[in-house]
Amino acid sequence: MHSLVLDIAGTLSAAANLFVVAAGLTLVFGAMRIINMAHGSFYMYGAFAVTTVLGVGAGWRFWLALLAGAVVAAVAGLTVEVTVIRRLYDAEHLTQLLATYAVLLIFADIGQRIWGAGYRTVNPPAVLASGVSIAGVQVPRYQLFVIGVGAAVGLALWLMLARTRFGWLLRAAVQDPESVATGGTDLARLRTGVFVIGAFLAGLGGALIAPMQSIAPGMDVSIIVSVFIVVTIGGLGSVAGAALGALLIGLAQTLGAEFFASWAASLIYLTMIVVLAIRPWGLLGVPER
Partner 1 sequence: MSHCQPVRPRHWALATLAAAAACTLIAACGNSSAGSASSGGTVTVGESTTLSGSIAELGESGLQGVELAVADLNSHGGLLGKKIKVVSADDAATPATGAANAKNMILQDHVVALFGPVSSAVAAAEEQLAGQYKVPIFFHTSNDISLMGANFNPYAFQVVPNTDMEPRAAALYLDSEVKAGKIKTPLALGTFAPNYSFGQDSVAGFIQALKYYNVPFKIVSQQWPSLEATNISPNLSALIAAKPSVVYNAQFGGDLVTFVKQATPFGFFKKTTMLSMLNTAELAALGSQAPAGSIAYDRAPWFAMNEPGVTAFATEYHAKYHQWPDTWAVLAYTSVQVWAYGVKHAGTFDAGKVSAAIAGAAIPTIRGTITIRACDHQAEIPEYVGTVASSPSSLTGFPLWTPGSAFAAPFSKIGLSCAQMKAMQK
Partner 2 sequence: MHTDSLASSAEHDQVHLARPPARTTAGTVACVVVMGLLALAGVVWSPAALANLQEALGLVLFAVATNLLLGYGGLVSFAQAAFYGIGAYGIAIGWLHWKLPFWLGGLAGIAAAAVAAVIVGVISLRTRRLYFALLTLAFTQLFFVIADNQTAITNGATGIFGAMVPTWLAEPQGGYYFTLVVVVVVTLGCYAVVRSPFGLTLKAIRDNRERAEALGVNVYRHQLAAFVISSVGCAIAGFLFAIYSQSASPDLLSWTNSGEPIFMAVLGGMHTFLGPVAGAIVYFYAQSYLTQHITDWQLVLGLLLLVIVLFKPSGLAGIGADAGRAVRRLRARTGGRA
Positions touching partner 1 (CB under 8 A) are 2-3, 6-7, 9-11, 13-14, 17-18, 56, 92-94, 108-109, 112, 117-121, 123, 129-131, 138, 140-143, 211-214, 216-219, 221-223, 226, 250, 253-258, 261-262, 264-265
**Region near partner 2 per CB under 8 A, out of 65-73, 123-131, 186-194, 268-276:** 268-276
**Region near partner 2 per CB under 8 A, out of 47-55, 123-131, 164-172, 228-236:** 228-236
Q: What's phi and psi for 116, nearest 5 deg?
A: 80, 180
Q: What is the CA radius of gyration of the chain?
A: 19
Q: Is 229 in the site for partner 2 (CB under 8 A)?
A: yes
Measured from the Cβ of residue 82, the count of other Cβ atoms closer than 10 Å reads 12
Cβ-proximal residues to 45 (8 Å cutoff; 6+ apart), any chain: 69, 72, 73, 76, 107, 111, 203, 206
**Region near partner 2 per CB under 8 A, out of 14-22, 47-55, 251-259, 272-280:** 272-280
Cβ-proximal residues to 207 (8 Å cutoff; 6+ apart), any chain: 46, 47, 49, 50, 65, 66, 67, 68, 69, 70
Taking each continuous run of H as one helix and of E as one strand, the counts in the chain are: 12, 2
Residue 82 or residue 265: which is nearer to partner 1 going by CB? 265
Residue 202 CB, nearest approach to partner 1 (Å): 13
Q: Is 262 in the site for partner 2 (CB under 8 A)?
A: yes
Q: Which does 61 bind (CB under 5 to 8 A by kind): partner 1, partner 2, none?
A: none
Q: Where are the beta strands (DSSP E) in 81-227?
A: 131-134, 137-140
**Region near partner 2 per CB under 8 A, out of 124-132, 154-162, 227-235, 241-249:** 227-235
Q: Is 71 in the site for partner 2 (CB under 8 A)?
A: no
Q: Which does 145 bind (CB under 5 to 8 A by kind): partner 1, partner 2, none?
A: none
Q: Is 160 in the site for partner 2 (CB under 8 A)?
A: no
Cα distance from N-terminal residue to C-terminal residue, the chain: 48
